Amino acid sequence: MESRSCTHAPPIDVLNQIFELVIETCLVPRIVSIGTTTPHEKQKQAIALASISRAWRAAALQTPRLWNTISISLDWDTDMVKEYWAWTVRRVKGVPVSLLIYDICEESRVRLEDLNGSSMRFKEMRLHLKHPGDAVLFPESWRDYDIDTLRVDIYRQYSGRHGPHKSATPVELGHFVENVRRFELEGWDATPARIADISSTRLFQLHLFSIRDIDIAGVLRSFPCLESLYFAGCGFRPLSSVSVATETRTLDVRNNKDDEWLSKVKFPKLQRISYDDTYSTSLEEFLKAHSTIETIRLRVSSDVEFTRFLQLAAQITTLHIVLSGYVAWGGCIASQGAFPVLKRLGVSEWVNDIEPGQLGAVIKARCLPLHHPLSTATDSSRLLEEFCIEVGRTALCETVDVYQEATKRIVEIGPLRTKIYLSWPTEQE
């Protein structure tokens, strides 16, 4: 009677609720170190639940979402990997899977083609390659799999068991994107990529990190249905101009080698841009040519930059500025005629703290209701619908009297940063 196998099990509906709570609270696993065999938290919890009693084990094995996060190294024992893979395929039963496979290399003990995932649907697939040339190891049989997000990471080129890897072989995107809706490619070092002779109308989002020799014209021609483009730490080939029909509505540009291509590309349906590079004339020319843009996230470091931007932003309804130097942003936004249709504003400190005088100027001109004694607004149509700040500390903000009056909704966005949404009672309230 004392055996765990005889423990009275709760009703099946109660067990299902317990399992669902476990699933919702477990963090998505990530690689902590190359070659780790440590089980991720969700796997630990699933094994623990299945070990309580026979009834719990039976119920757990019939709950696909407990087992649909899979992490495998191709350097593990071949028989163990194949047995674990076959066991998992039986358990997930068509539930979308998150798959992580690392140690993909010519010398790996297991080959991707040895693992048949044709019966699975992939919510996310993440592959870690030893070097760019290993892209050819992605088997043709996997290219027909149903994949929402495919992320390919290229390890740093290093000497070791599988190295050294000094190959300049470009990553062929055509190996991966045939049946993918979102594709992410990240090189640890600047990695060449080849985007040519590809035609995919299924790819809607493309994110490239630390990739060089990007042919932006080739990207747009190869993926005419792209809705979102993200470039971070990338380098681009020179080009004259691009006139390609594209569905792109969101563009994110961060810390790239150059941005001259911006002034030569036209996105007729673009609505949102995030620009985290040094402010440039190429950006200004781009903004002038894209009156469809309504949302901008922009890093600024001087009054000159922000004043020049102000003259190009009459149509902006949502603005988020990242301060990388002292900028009189509050005075500019509060000034008469500035950002006439702006409704949502966010401000992040990056180098400097948010200066109290600038914060107070915006609050009084664009946040406080007209009846407030400190309001400097003359027209209710200029009042913001949403205002938030991202800060590491609030000591300086607390010195602003109207900030202290605000109702605050606080969202933690990291161990050292907080997003604070501010609001004040309206006249009706």
pLDDT attached to residue 37: 40
pLDDT attached to residue 53: 74
Distance between CA atoms of 270 and 286, rounded to whole angstroms? 11
Distance between CA atoms of 390 and 248, rounded to whole angstroms? 28
Distance between CA atoms of 43 and 45, rounded to whole angstroms? 5
**3-state class of 387 per DSSP?**
strand
For the chain, which residues make up each domain, given as ranges? 1-67, 294-429
pLDDT attached to residue 415: 79
Total count of residues recorded for the chain: 429
429 residues of the chain, pLDDT tens digit each:
344 444 566 666 666 666 666 655 554 444 333 444 444 555 666 667 666 777 777 766 667 777 788 888 898 899 989 988 998 888 888 889 889 998 898 888 899 999 999 989 999 999 998 888 888 889 999 988 989 999 999 876 555 544 544 556 788 888 898 889 999 999 877 888 888 778 888 999 999 999 988 988 889 888 989 999 999 999 998 887 766 678 899 999 998 888 888 888 889 999 999 998 878 888 999 999 999 999 999 999 889 899 999 888 899 999 999 998 888 999 999 998 899 999 999 999 886 789 999 999 999 999 999 999 999 998 999 999 999 999 988 889 999 999 999 999 999 887 788 999 999 987 554
What pTM was computed for the model? 0.84
> Which of these, 200, 212, 243, 208, lies nearest to 229 by C-alpha position?
208
pLDDT attached to residue 135: 87
pLDDT attached to residue 232: 94
CATH of 294-429 given 3.30.1490, 3.10.20, 3.40.50, 1.10.10: 3.40.50
pLDDT attached to residue 272: 97
Amino acid occupying residue 357: G
Q: Which two tokens stand for residue 306?
A: 């922000």
Distance between CA atoms of 427 and 173, rounded to whole angstroms? 56
pLDDT attached to residue 45: 65
Q: Which residue has the tokens 């140690």?
A: 103
Reduced to 3 DSSP states, what percent helix, strand and coil does the chain have, rounded to the nearest 5?
Answer: 30, 25, 45
pLDDT attached to residue 27: 47
Distance between CA atoms of 81 and 422, rounded to whole angstroms? 52
For residue 129, CA distances in Å to 39, 77, 230 come to 21, 18, 21
